Amino acid sequence: MSTNPAPHNPPGGQASSFAAMKEQAAREKPTGSDEKRELAGDDSYVDSSAGAKETRANALDNPLTGISLDRLEAMGRAFAREKGLGEFELEFAKGAQAAQDATVTDLPLLDEEDREVIRREVTHKWSHPKTLYFVVVACSMAAATQGMDESVTNGANLFWAPQFGLITAKGTPGASKNQWLLGLTAGAPYLCCAVLGCWLTSPVNKVMGRRYAMALAAAISFIGCIWSACVNSWQHLLGARFFLGIGVGLGSATVPVFAAETAPPLIRGALVMQWQVWTAFGIMLGTVSGLAFYHVPDPASGNITGLNWRIMLGSAIFPSIFVMAFAPFLPESPRWLIGRGRYVDAFNSLCRLRHTRLQAARDLFFIHVLLEEEAAVATGRSPLVELFAVARNRRAALASGIVMFMQQFCGINVIAYYSSTIFREAGFSEISALGATLGFGALNWVSAAPALFTIDSYGRRVLLLWGFPLMAIFLLLTGVAFLIPKESTAHIAVVALGIYLHCIAYSPTEGPVPFTYSSEDFIVALTFPRLLDAFTPTGAFLWYSGWCWIGAVLVLFFVPETRNLTLEELDQVFSVPTMRHAKYQLSGTLYAFRKYILRQHLPPRQPLYLWEDKMAVRY
């Protein structure tokens, strides 16, 4: 590596601050007048088929694009000096140039060692310091904690409810009320998420940072699990599980963000996807717990009743112990540190997460630039107002809301919470029901793994459009199977087959696309015990099958593809008016029918989105 030369003045021979140089560079860039207006929220979508001149919104780029290398070098040096990192001035000069295009290696300041480092980021994209993978493991264990918190109640429901007088069998006195109370208690963590846990995420993260917020979520989970194992009434258990929801909400909103903010761009999607994979692993561990502790007897002294279900509920402490023990030793999120003005700490954190100081300097500089761009386009309104007042944000919220809502109403969570009850209703013995539930948990985890590759290979929208119809068919199969006489071996076999096939269809499609939407998860957990009795098992599964068909239609018309698009291209995607997108997808359905079913020879369709050098997302 070359030595640090004397400070370098920017073009023009006058020393200047980083902010002044950035402002001057922005004035010199050939940007159109539409850029600021579009970013502030006015729609400037131009129909590509009309041949109109593209606005700036159709060709948004890296904020550093168009700035000369000399000016970037000067900006990097000024940035290092102003942020207390003057001893690394050369690294930041190189990093500022490299941040303009992370794949370019023929930059004048780079020596051969630097170029090899940048080339290896592409050719060996999984080669990173052990510290980064330590962060990944900790985040994965945090995900497993949530999965166990969700699923340990599955087997425990068979025991604690009768012990506390909640008899839910059809025809028994008070069955209807008890079914609601069972659902309320089982779903209490997600009720807490909806009304409290998720809302605490922002203030807790602001004060404590990502790693300590993650540790706090694990600590709350630890306490909640111990509390759940020591209760003496269903009301007491309701309180314990409600408290547990604070940790569930805080962890589910913090951990994926922490992973995204520490991961390099080329593997960020795959690392963030670990949340879904290891949540599924935690669900599997919860089903293992139900089976493993089924035969645990009460102590001879008679001081403890229901020791087996108490151990089931308490067993979720183990992954949380790992998270609590190791979270304080993780590097903090560089983006969070920058937001607090702690640039030296942010650089040190990135040095632990990257192989070289050049990579750390480049990423720190670019994060700073992006944060400044975010601040520059702020409208001054509250984030909640901007979410609905800005058309682009509103469309993105609609698409996100659809996939999050449908994740809960596709039927997967009723199986995660109540599969033991469902299997027992189908005629399984209690131990066989727990064994069948273990099969569901294992399939849920194994089937989630392919999503690491399919989500970026096939696209989110394509996965959803395949997944929802398949889930609807398999839920229909499960519901109809309950009509088969119980004396027939086909009754049990087809029920189990339908549930397993539904799980296989869910895990690589709807499973990884959204994150948990807590309020709907609570509604599903609350209503299913009563739904199972009022609708019968057949009607309950047909109900969720119908929702899957509704989900497929909503995705077709209102959820655009986001695969392999930059943040700037996503901005243009959501600038397309909702009705225009829906009409394009409807005509595309008719086009596909005529071309692939009727085998008509048709010309290629006009793409919906155009960029300067490429067309993207033709579907």
Cα→Cα distances 531→33, 177, 378, 534, Å? 56, 12, 46, 5
What residues contact 439, with CB distance under 8 A and at least 6 apart? 496, 500
Q: Return the structure tokens found at 609.
A: 């989105």
Which 8-state DSSP code applies to residue 111? -
Of 159, 418, 157, 433, which is closest to residue 307 (Cα–Cα)?
Answer: 159
Q: Contact 316/162 with Cβ under 8 angstroms?
A: no
Any idea which residue has 């960029």 for tokens? Answer: 611
Q: Return the structure tokens found at 208.
A: 């404590």
> Which segments in the chain show pLDDT lower than 70?
1-16, 19-20, 22-62, 269, 376-380, 383, 452, 454-457, 512-526, 563-572, 609-619
Any idea which residue has 């200047």 for tokens? Answer: 16
Which 8-state DSSP code applies to residue 299? P
What residues contact 495, with CB distance under 8 A and at least 6 apart? 422, 423, 426, 478, 481, 482
Q: Contact 540/480 with Cβ under 8 angstroms?
A: no
Task: Give the pLDDT score at 244.
Answer: 94
What residues contact 222, with CB distance under 8 A and at least 6 apart? 317, 320, 321, 324
pTM here is 0.78
The whole-angstrom separation of Cα 288 and Cα 5 is 61
- pLDDT tens per residue across span 497-544: 999 999 999 888 877 666 433 334 556 666 777 788 788 889 989 999
Number of neighbouring beta carbons within 10 Å of residue 122: 11
Which 8-state DSSP code applies to residue 166? -
Domains by residue range for the chain, with CATH: 1-29+67-124+342-377 (no CATH), 126-330 (1.20.1250.20), 387-619 (1.20.1250.20)
Q: Return the structure tokens found at 323.
A: 């998270």
Which 8-state DSSP code applies to residue 609? E
Number of neighbouring beta carbons within 10 Å of residue 442: 18
The whole-angstrom separation of Cα 538 and Cα 560 is 34
Task: Give the pLDDT score at 5.
Answer: 44
The whole-angstrom separation of Cα 394 and Cα 392 is 5
- In degrees, to the nearest 5, what angle opens at C-alpha 528 toward C-alphas 527 and 532? 125
Task: Give the pLDDT score at 421.
Answer: 85
Rg (CA), the chain: 27
Q: Contact 555/403 with Cβ under 8 angstroms?
A: yes
Task: Give the pLDDT score at 33.
Answer: 36
Question: Cα(first)–Cα(last) distance of the chain, in Å?
Answer: 48
Cα→Cα distances 232→225, 227, 292, 383, 570, Å? 14, 10, 23, 44, 52
If phi > 0 it is left, if psi is from -120 to 50 it is alpha, else beta; for residue 378 that is beta
Which 8-state DSSP code applies to residue 507? T
Task: Give the pLDDT score at 338.
Answer: 92
Task: Give the pLDDT score at 43.
Answer: 43
> How many Cα atoms occupy the beta-carbon half-sphere of 618 within 13 Å?
11
Number of neighbouring beta carbons within 10 Å of residue 296: 14
- pLDDT tens per residue across span 119-131: 888 888 888 899 9
Task: Give the pLDDT score at 353.
Answer: 93
The whole-angstrom separation of Cα 160 and Cα 234 is 8
Task: Give the pLDDT score at 481.
Answer: 93
